[in-house]
Amino acid sequence: MRHSALFAPACFGILLFGSAVSSLAANYQGHAVHDSRVIIVWEDTTKQRQLNVNQYGAFSSIKKHGYLKNIELVDTHYSTSIAQNLKILSAIPGVKAVYPDYEIHALTQSDTPTDTPSLSTAPNDPDYSLLWGLNDPDDFDINAEEAWAYSTGSSQVYVGVIDSGVDYTHEDLAANVWTNPDEIAGNGIDDDANGWVDDVHGIDTSANDSDPMDEGGHGTHVAGTIAGVGNNGIGITGVNWTSQIIPCRFLDANGEGYASGAIECLDYMASLKIDKGLNLVATNNSWGGGGYSALMEEVISVHNSLGILFVAASGNEGTNIDSQPSYPASYDIANIISVAAIDHNGNFAYFSNYGNSVDIAAPGVEIYSSVPGNNYESYSGTSMAAPHVTGALALLKAAHPDVSSNGLKSLLLTNASDKDLYDGETRYGRLQLFNPEGDGAINCGDTTTITRVAPSSSSVSIIYQDTLAVHFASLNCGEPSDTVTLNYQDTSIELMDNGIGSDNIANDGIFSGEIEASWIGTINIDVVGASDQSFSITSTRFPSITEVNYQFESIDNPTELNLGDDDLETIELDFSITTPFGTTNTITVSSNGLLFGDSGASSVYTNTLLPSLGVNHVFAPFWDDLYNSSGSYTWEVKGTTPNRKLVINYTNIHFYYGNEPVSFQVVFNESTPIVYYNYANIITSDSHSGGSTATVGVEDSGYGVTYSYNTYALHDNMSLLIGDLEQIDLPVIDSLTYSGIPRVGYPVSLVATLSDNSSEETRMRINVGDGNGFQPYRSGSVTTVVYSTAGVYTVIAEASTETASQSSSLNISILSISDTEQALIDRAQSDLLTTIQNSPGNFDLVSTATAQSMANNAASAREEAIIANPSAVGLVSQQAADAASQQAAALAEQATLAALADNPNEFGMMTLENAANQTQLAQQAILDAPQDWGLSVIATTPDDISTLSTGTFLVGASTDIEDLTAFFSDVRFVWVFEDGLFKGWSPDNTLRSQLENSGYTLISRIRSGQGFWVTKG
């Protein structure tokens, strides 16, 4: 069964009107997605034009965006599974990424009964007293009434409401709903040529039309809090009395929608900012859920570049989103303001998400506002808290029109109240527009406020020698103020607001600069004049991925992991292992080829480039859609402290769509910060072979290294090392090879070689697999072994230092000599011996008898001379005589050799040059009379072979035979004996493979004059 991932928009907890999944929803990685739509991100619009997705048969384009031109919504027409569609479309040239169309929800916690309102005098809206979030005796309101003394809003300030739509006919909203001045209502024409016909008050991306009327109520409730018409004697008032609301509907009546709809709304808002020049301050986004989406992050970043703030509800799970992120609130983008909920007593709402990554809290319990049909109700949720912040931003923009979007954010956040009260729950405290004690957001005085904009966290991690961009707001009531100076170690950096380099906009009050991590470890960055905005940077080395010699670890007593499809299981150790990212005593194993050393483990099966998972300590040896039909997931701890290893095996694991299994393992070390990915069997005969549909890499702290992504990059008996090689004294074995005849009783020579830069302290040992274990070994030396029985022998060479070790291994198949081989060997040896004995001179030799006789005669002659006249050589004793005799014999032999070299013919021998000539003559003699030499036929053409009958024939070649396939098309085997080895060949692929598997060297060509055997039949 295929599980899938749902991208739920920011609607957490209990849904507003229920949570029945749309009939169009499918299941993808545990989340609901549209079952026939996906979203493509093109590398650029040129690629998109050249490679129209419609040409790929099963797919067709639904929608291309006006501003986000490289994003396209595609209909898959239910062609196959979501996972397969993602893989197919990802392979199209020019496609940067493909995403499912995640389902999204509104973030309302519950409906709350409405009490009978008590009337108030200011403003004159009859239900104003019910709006405790704006003004309340308990004083946990936002002090809106005091702020209205400075501004009640402006019709020139616009806010986007991306939600379930807005009832634009509502009595308390209609005057503040934007009307498109460039569109003629009801004429059926796209008058302003923006791709939407009659978008008079906004658009509806869920129905793909231009009517954003709210059928559920969630968006209308949000809009009333932001900008319900104030002081009109009707219903309620918003934080703004006159600001303009732009509705974009993508959620249905049940508060559910898809990521594609939210993205299209964001695109529409961007086009209004750019094409119509609207003073669009912010969008309200009371939706969310699901997992991290690089696509959504990218689109929100576009709004950041346009100066549009993104107010996001933090979510209703009641969890700490520092450790369990909630999106879109958890994206680390400068324009996002994440909002939690409090009640009228100032208590943090039980359902509200919290953490240091939540910016601010606002009223979100029993919030009274407008709903469709000129009605009013109370809702609760972070959905209700977010519009208080959005409305406050619009009000600040009306009061301080020249302040930038980042200045507005800084002005609002730095003037929040009760920071200590909500410490650990929010970063800044709770929303307060007016400060009765002095400087506040709207009543700011002549005081400089310095606020860290980026990084948003007070502690960040980067990679050694990488650069971190830093941005600080230095504002005096929203206007640019003093330069910001940062001090760390012995360095002082002055940030600039000049629009150059990392500073995006000149004179906007955002001062920017860069810090290069030239250290390893954690340092504090001090902010001059604003110590509360100081932060720390931890610099670490990020590991590289390097192919090394095969390191596969055998295990004897494995523990099985009970992993199902798309499943997770955690291994808990009684010691810590050391990885390139730190230490851990737990590893969570995913059935889909992912391992996690930290929280946030995922069983996601659709692989992507890394980083993409948004969690730390991620290892991806083979991230793919895997399925265990007949294999196993196992683990074992090997060795003793402090050099223990955790070995995790994926053995004979199939693909969800595929018939052939793969086997690989991951090895962690106790003391050394390296990890091995070892691939035993990774080549298949289908599309998955060699990692063609997998991701191999690592991810940590927002960084990642992808070794391969949907690429044929792996092979059998391959190992990858993950680690910082500059920091590890790691010995490297360059090669491990063998030579000789792999047969029982024949010598096999083994040579292992260390790399040139290996430490002098590196020790080596070798295990030849014969049962005698490891033996000391010196790099480059030859170890010879004769195997006495047939079998597959694993040879292991190991190199080690005080801190690390590496091994390399190879398998040698030792076979017994077959009867056929022995017969051929015997016959070849017999024929060769006969030829040599008959004509030793042809081989630059003399016969044994002749050589022995010559040596004996020379020695005898010299010995007789010595015995006859010993005094001539100074001998005075038998011992001395014996010594002199040996010396004389040596001299005689040297003389004989010199004589042989000067005149070999006198000794019945010839020079090598003459031997070569004689060999050529002998070859010609064989061709002239093959029967005299025991040959049955001379082969000149393929016809000479085809005329042979069934059997084995000794044949001589009268010409060079280069194309064996053409020459021997109808034979079973061809054999030659050369270089001391029998070599074979067959035109049949299966028989030829059998020869190779048996250790035979294949014949590549046959030379003219060479003899060979042919077997037919």
d(CA 596, CA 586) in angstroms, rounded, equals: 8
Amino acid type, 1007: R
Amino acid type, 838: N
SS3 at position 676: strand
Residue 527: CB atoms within 10 Å:
20
Computed from CA positions of residues 601, 604, 605, 611, in that sequence, does the dihedral angle turn out positive or negative? negative
Task: Label residues 781-808 b or e (16+ Cβ within 10 Å = b).
Answer: eebebebeeeeebebbbbbbbeebbbbb
Whether residue 420 contacts residue 435, with contact meaning beta carbons closer than 8 Å, is answered with no
Q: Is 204 a catalytic residue?
A: no
Q: Is 218 a catalytic residue?
A: yes
Residue 1005: CB atoms within 10 Å:
13
SS3 at position 284: strand
Helix axes 382-399, 218-227, angle to 10 degrees: 30
d(CA 11, CA 351) in angstroms, rounded, equals: 12
- Could you please report the per-residue DSSP string of 206-221? TTTBS----SSSHHHH
Q: Is 13 exposed, middle or buried (0-12, 13-18, 19+ CB in 10 A)?
A: buried
d(CA 656, CA 567) in angstroms, rounded, equals: 13
d(CA 242, CA 229) in angstroms, rounded, equals: 6
Kind plus residue range of the DSSP H or E element containing 263: helix 259-275
Distances (CA, A) of 888 to 856, 872, 883: 13, 13, 9
**Non-local CB neighbours of 369 within 8 Å, separated by 6+ positions:** 220, 221, 222, 224, 225, 228, 236, 376, 377, 378, 379, 384
How do the residues of the chain divide into helix, strand and coil, expressed in percent and rounded to 5?
20, 35, 45
Query: Among residues 164, 260, 338, 383, which one is catalytic?
Result: 383
- Could you please report the per-residue DSSP string of 455-509? S-SSEEEEETT-EEEEEEEEEETTEE-SPPEEEETTEEEE-B-SSSTT--STTSS
Pairing between β-strand 618-623 and β-strand 782-786 as defined by DSSP bridges: unpaired
d(CA 176, CA 241) in angstroms, rounded, equals: 8
Query: Among residues 75, 125, 163, 700, which one is catalytic?
Result: 163
Q: Is 36 a catalytic residue?
A: no
3-class SS string, 439-454: CCCCCCCCCEEEEEEE
- Phi first, then psi, for residue 922 (nearest 5°) are -65, -40
Q: Give me 818's structure tokens.
A: 């077959």
Whether residue 104 contacts residue 6, with contact meaning beta carbons closer than 8 Å, is answered with no
Helices (H) and strands (E) in the chain, counts: 15, 53
d(CA 427, CA 150) in angstroms, rounded, equals: 27
Task: Give residue for tokens 């990692």.
Answer: 691
d(CA 501, CA 474) in angstroms, rounded, equals: 18
Question: What does the angle CA 880 – CA 884 – CA 886 come to, to the nearest 5 degrees?
Answer: 120
d(CA 183, CA 193) in angstroms, rounded, equals: 9
- Could you please report the per-residue DSSP string of 962-989? --HHHHTTT-SEEEEEETTEEEEE-SSH
Query: Among residues 105, 170, 218, 654, which one is catalytic?
Result: 218
Active site residues: 163, 218, 383
